[in-house]
Structure formats: structure tokens, C-alpha cells
Amino acid sequence: MNPAPSAPSAPSARYARRRAQLAQRIGKGVAIVPTAPERTRNRDAHYPYRYDSYFYHLTGFTEPEAVMVVVAGENPRNLLFCREKNAEREIWDGFRYGPVAAKDTFAFDETYTFDQLDKVMPDLLADQPAVYAHLGGDSAWDARVLGWVNAVRERARTGVAAPRDIADIHTLLDDMRLIKDADELNTMRRAAEISTGAHVRAMCAARAGGTEYQIEAELLHEFRRHGAQSPAYTSIVASGANACVLHYVANDATLQDGDLLLIDAGCELDGYASDITRTFPVNGRFSGPQKAVYELVLAAQAAAIAEVKAGNTWNAPHDAAVNVLAQGFIDLKLLTGSLAEVLEKETYRQFYMHRTGHWLGLDVHDAGDYKRDGQWRALQPGMVLTVEPGCYIRPGDGVPAAFANIGVRIEDDVVVTEKGCEILTSAAPKSVADIEALMATR
Ligand code: GLY
Ligand code: MN
Ligand code: MN
């Protein structure tokens, strides 16, 4: 018999509390949230399994083939459908909870095996005013949910009423996920700590003649040896001109003396992402033009971080970064015209073409709207976002040769607080002096 994993990474109470919150938001109706399917990579090889973030947020349950149901109303109930205990399968795949152990461990009122889903769901939906489910993401799931609703409709002549409304559950859950609670913030702090250690390790390991993939290996080693389950996204290890490819993931070039190395990498710990970018010289010393561009991006990041506080809008950090970058591009003679013209015509987009951040949480690009009723959303304590301005100078008409192929991004993870923000990732060096001092110790 396989032993249970060292228990869920977090006590069940936090998940039960979130399900109670969801029930309260629904009022009366039934919410249905499935976890993610397993996916084949090729033949009998699977992609590493990753549960669905919405499902995990409400359950802490990490096995595939599971569905959570919350019945909200006078008699609220939490149900979990999961894989049955199966001694034969557990020899091959390892421990599974099964409904009996899952009920106590994950604080559900009722648990069933996954194959009972189609039988039980129509009963649960009978005489309920609304179903909350996410439709449109997977046609097989859509058909299944609608099949349950239709099964209830077929009972109309027995006096049973089918749900009148089908509403999107993600819309409700996005708002819940957007504000991180104390447990989530603690996990994100630890994920950030592991990832900052990985960036320090990468700076110490970089040298001309080495390769991008060797540095990627150092990052992954550091993530895993501290218990992070995986990278939160494919690591970008981009030297020289590769840094100007925003989603560069080949990571197969040789590091050259005199080049910068841009690393965008972060681990996922117990479901939560970290997302850090640092850019530093392979040889440990910034050249004049590299330093000029780097200091500009760093100043843009500082201006953006200064705008992260409760009450400011989502767009305030982006606007601050763009203002600093646009003026800097003019000063460096990368662009001509006045600041007003560069902003108005958006010519700065030649060198800065992405946004300054995104929500961060269970997904690296986390759940939550950026606008409400056409207005940028106000920042609130407990929101977590990245601040990641950059500058990417592809060679071209009018680009001074000294700056060609320089790509710089600096990215930190920050929590909104009443008065400002908490930077989770400041342990990864980012001033020119701190980077050069660390790299001199190699
Ligand atoms: N690493 C993904 C991003 O920065 O958005
Ligand atoms: Mn990011
Ligand atoms: Mn990133």
C-alpha cells in the first residue's frame, strides 16, 4: 500500500473557508468546478500533471479526475468527486485518496467516485435556480454540464424545475483569487525566496563559453532542491541579441564575453508562481551603453513601483514606466521628437512594446480583470502583481550601433499594501553596483 503524501500542503480549513465564501456569493444555486485533465505528450509519455487553478483554490486537492460542487442555499453542501481507491492502479501510479479519505482530509460534506458524476449531478441540479460553471473552454465539458441540465428538464412533468440560469463561475472566482489571503501571501513569499536564490545562483554561474541551457539547469536545480514542484513557466535564458526576442525559450546559445544575459524565470511552489527577470553582463561588468540602457530601465521600474499603492489605478505603474522610458529613449538618441510627441504617437513602442505587469498568483498571468466598467481597476491591499519594464533594441534605421541588440528587462513581484507595496523579490540583486559586486565573487 502506498503511503499518503505528506498531507496536503495546507490545512483544509482555508479551502473550506473559500468554499463558504463562494456559497455566500452565489446565494442559491450550484457551482461546479472540475480540475484539469491529464495530457499526453507523445505515446505513453504525459506532460507533468498540473491541476486546475480554480479547482485547487477551492479544494487543495491535486489529483486528476476530480470535480468540486458547492450547493449554496438553505442547506449548503460541499461535494467532491474523485478517483476511487484502487490497489492495482496505486502499484503503478502511487497513492490516491479515494472518497473516504478525501472527505475528512479535505473537509467535504460528501464525496463520491468520479464515475458517479453523471448519476448524481442531475439530482443536485433539480429545483435549483442557477448553475455556475465555466463553459466555452472545453466542448466535452460544456456538453456534459448541459447534459445534466437537460436531464433535469426531462423530469419537468414530475414537477421538478430545471435551473433557469447558467452563469460563469470564473467571474465569481476571479475576484476571490485576485485578493490574496495571508496563507497565499506566505506561500508566494517562499516561492519568491526560492526564485531569488536561483537568480543569484545564475549570476554566479554565468561565464563566457558556457551556454544558456547550463544556466537554465542551474535555475531548475535551485527551484527543485528547495521543494518547488516546477518552474511557473518556461524559463527564458537569453544572451546577447536573444534578449530582444520577448518569448525566447530555445536557450541553446553560447554565452559571449561582452554580452548581457536576460533571465526571466520563477518557480511554482504549492501552486503559486513567482516571476522574476534580471539582466546582467556575462563577464560581470556592464559596458557604457549597456549600463546606460540598464539604468534607464531600472529608473522606469522604480517609478512604476512608486505608483503601486492602494487606491491608485492598475495603469498608474505602466504610465509611470512609459514616461521614464520615453524620455530616456530621447536622451539616448534612440528616438527623436519631444516627450509629448513620443507619448502621443507611441513611438516608444519600437523599444518597449509590452505592458508593465500582470496579476500574479496560482497562474503566472493570474486571474482577475484589469478594467471595470471601462475604467482601470483600483489597486487594493492583497493584490499581487509584477512590475517589469524593459527595453529591446533591435538593429535598424537610426539605431546607434553601440545600442544594437541590447535587451534589458527587470521584473519584480509586489504585493499592494495600504501605503505602498511589499516587494517579494528584492533579494535578487538589481543595482549595477550590487550585480557587479556579486559577480566579482565568482
Ligand atoms: N514570465 C512571464 C512574464 O513575465 O509575463
Ligand atoms: Mn511577468
Ligand atoms: Mn517574467
Instruction: Judge if 92 and 116 occupy the same domain.
Output: yes
Q: Which atom of ligand 1 is nearest to the CA of 277?
A: 4
Q: Which atom of ligand 1 is nearest to the CA of 411?
A: 4
Residue 356, domain member (yes or no): yes
- Residue 412 CA to ligand 2 center (angstroms) comes to 8
Residue 3, domain member (yes or no): no
Residues 390, 354: contact at Cβ < 8 Å? yes
Instruction: Judge if 82 and 164 occupy the same domain.
Output: yes
Pocket test for ligand 1, best of 364, 370, 384 (most atoms within 8 A of CB): 364
Atom 5 (ligand 1) nearest CA: 365
User: What's the pLDDT at 75?
Assistant: 87
164-182 burial by CB neighbour count: b if 16+ within 10 A, else e? eeebebbebbbebbbebee
User: What's the pLDDT at 159?
Assistant: 96
Residue 154, domain member (yes or no): yes
Instruction: Judge if 102 and 59 occupy the same domain.
Output: yes
Residues 325, 346: contact at Cβ < 8 Å? no
Write the CB contacts of 267 (distance below 8 Å, at least 6 apart in sequence): 191, 194, 195, 198, 223, 226, 228, 230, 231, 232, 273, 274
Q: Using CA atoms, how far apart are residues 199 and 412, in angstroms rounded to an integer? A: 12
Instruction: Judge if 282 and 385 occupy the same domain.
Output: yes
pLDDT of 3 above 60 = no
- Of 47, 63, 44, the C-alpha closest to 111 is 63
Looking at this protein, which amino acid is placed at residue 89?
R
Q: Which atom of ligand 1 is nearest to the CA of 409?
A: 4
Instruction: Judge if 271 and 163 occupy the same domain.
Output: no
In this predicted model, what pLDDT tens digit does every residue of 285-313 receive, in sequence order? 999 999 999 999 999 999 999 999 999 99
In this predicted model, what pLDDT tens digit does every residue of 395-412 receive, in sequence order? 998 999 999 999 999 999
- Residue 265 CA to ligand 3 center (angstroms) comes to 6
Q: Using CA atoms, how far apart are residues 193 and 414, in angstroms rounded to an integer? A: 13
Split into its structural domains, the chain has a count of 2
Q: Is 218 touching ligand 1 by the criterion CB < 6 Å?
A: no
Instruction: Judge if 171 and 295 occupy the same domain.
Output: no
Instruction: Judge if 144 and 193 occupy the same domain.
Output: no
Q: What are the residue numbers of the active site?
A: 44, 247, 264, 275, 354, 358, 365, 388, 392, 409, 411
Looking at this protein, which amino acid is placed at residue 117?
L
Q: Label residue 6 by pLDDT band (50, 70, 90).
A: very low
Cell representation of residue 177: 483569487
Q: Is 232 touching ligand 1 by the criterion CB < 6 Å?
A: no
pLDDT of 5 above 60 = no
User: What's the pLDDT at 2?
Assistant: 46
Q: Is 263 touching ligand 1 by the criterion CB < 6 Å?
A: no
Q: Which of the ligands is closest to the CA of residue 232?
A: 1
Residue 4, domain member (yes or no): no
- Residue 397 CA to ligand 2 center (angstroms) comes to 30
Residue 85, domain member (yes or no): yes
The domain in which residue 228 lies consists of 179-439
Residues 386, 357: contact at Cβ < 8 Å? yes
Q: Which atom of ligand 1 is nearest to the CA of 264?
A: 1
Residue 5, domain member (yes or no): no
Mean pLDDT of 43-67: 97
Residues 310, 300: contact at Cβ < 8 Å? no
Mean pLDDT of 236-253: 98
CATH code, domain carrying 41: 3.40.350.10
Instruction: Judge if 235 and 319 occupy the same domain.
Output: yes
HEC readout, the chain: CCCCCCCCCCCHHHHHHHHHHHHHHHCCEEEEEECCCCCEEECCEECCCCCCHHHHHHHCCCCCCCEEEEEECCCCEEEEEECCCCHHHHHHHCCCCHHHHHHHHCCCCEEEEHHHHHHHHHHHHCCCCEEEECCCCCHHHHHHHHHHHHHHHCCHHHCCCCCCEEEEHHHHHHHHHHCCCHHHHHHHHHHHHHHHHHHHHHHHHCCCCCEHHHHHHHHHHHHHHCCCCEECCCCEEEEHHHHHCCCCCCCCCECCCCCEEEEEECEEECCEECCEEEEEECCCCCCHHHHHHHHHHHHHHHHHHHCCCCCCECCHHHHHHHHHHHHHHHHCCCCCCCHHHHHHHCHHHHCCCCCCCCECCCCCCCCCCCEECCEECECCCCCEEEECCEEECCCCCCCCHHHCCCEEECEEEEEECCCCEEECCCCCCCCHHHHHHHHHCC
Residue 7, domain member (yes or no): no
Residue 349, domain member (yes or no): yes
Q: Which atom of ligand 1 is nearest to the CA of 236?
A: 1
Listed residues 127, 162, 177: the one ending a domain: 177
Mean residue pLDDT of the chain comes to: 97
Instruction: Judge if 119 and 192 occupy the same domain.
Output: no
- Residue 70 CA to ligand 3 center (angstroms) comes to 35
CATH code, domain carrying 219: 3.90.230.10
pLDDT of 1 above 80 = no
Cell representation of residue 136: 466555452
Q: Is 268 touching ligand 1 by the criterion CB < 6 Å?
A: no
- Residue 372 CA to ligand 3 center (angstroms) comes to 25
In this predicted model, what pLDDT tens digit does every residue of 327-363 receive, in sequence order? 999 999 999 999 999 999 999 999 999 999 999 999 9
Q: Is 412 touching ligand 1 by the criterion CB < 6 Å?
A: no
Instruction: Judge if 271 and 157 occupy the same domain.
Output: no
Listed residues 156, 177, 198: the one ending a domain: 177
Q: Is 63 touching ligand 1 by the criterion CB < 6 Å?
A: no
Q: In what order do the strands lie in the sheet with 230-231?
A: 230-231, 267-269, 272-273
Listed residues 177, 194, 212: the one ending a domain: 177
Q: Using CA atoms, how far apart are residues 44 and 88, in angstroms rounded to an integer? A: 18
Q: Is 212 touching ligand 1 by the criterion CB < 6 Å?
A: no
Instruction: Judge if 324 and 414 occupy the same domain.
Output: yes
Q: How many CA atoms lie less than 13 Å away from 380 in the CB half-sphere?
A: 13
Q: Using CA atoms, how far apart are residues 100 and 95, in angstroms rounded to an integer? A: 14
Question: 10-24, 73-87, 176-190, 362-376: which range is least confident on average?
Answer: 10-24
Q: Is 307 touching ligand 1 by the criterion CB < 6 Å?
A: no
Share of the chain above pLDDT 90, in %: 97
| φ, ψ for residue 31, nearest 5 deg | -105, 135
Looking at this protein, which amino acid is placed at residue 108?
F
pLDDT of 7 above 50 = no
Query: What predicted TM-score, i.e. pTM, was given to this entire model?
Result: 0.96
Cell representation of residue 19: 468554499
Mean pLDDT of 63-70: 98
Instruction: Judge if 167 and 191 occupy the same domain.
Output: no
Q: Is 233 touching ligand 1 by the criterion CB < 6 Å?
A: yes
Mean pLDDT of 96-122: 98
User: What's the pLDDT at 397?
Assistant: 85
Residues 424, 387: contact at Cβ < 8 Å? no
Q: Using CA atoms, how far apart are residues 344 and 91, in angstroms rounded to an integer? A: 64
Atom 3 (ligand 1) nearest CA: 275
Neighbours of ion ligand 3 (CB under 5 A): 264, 275, 411
- Residue 271 CA to ligand 3 center (angstroms) comes to 17
Q: Label residue 4 by pLDDT band (50, 70, 90).
A: low
- Residue 360 CA to ligand 1 center (angstroms) comes to 10
Q: Which atom of ligand 1 is nearest to the CA of 233?
A: 1
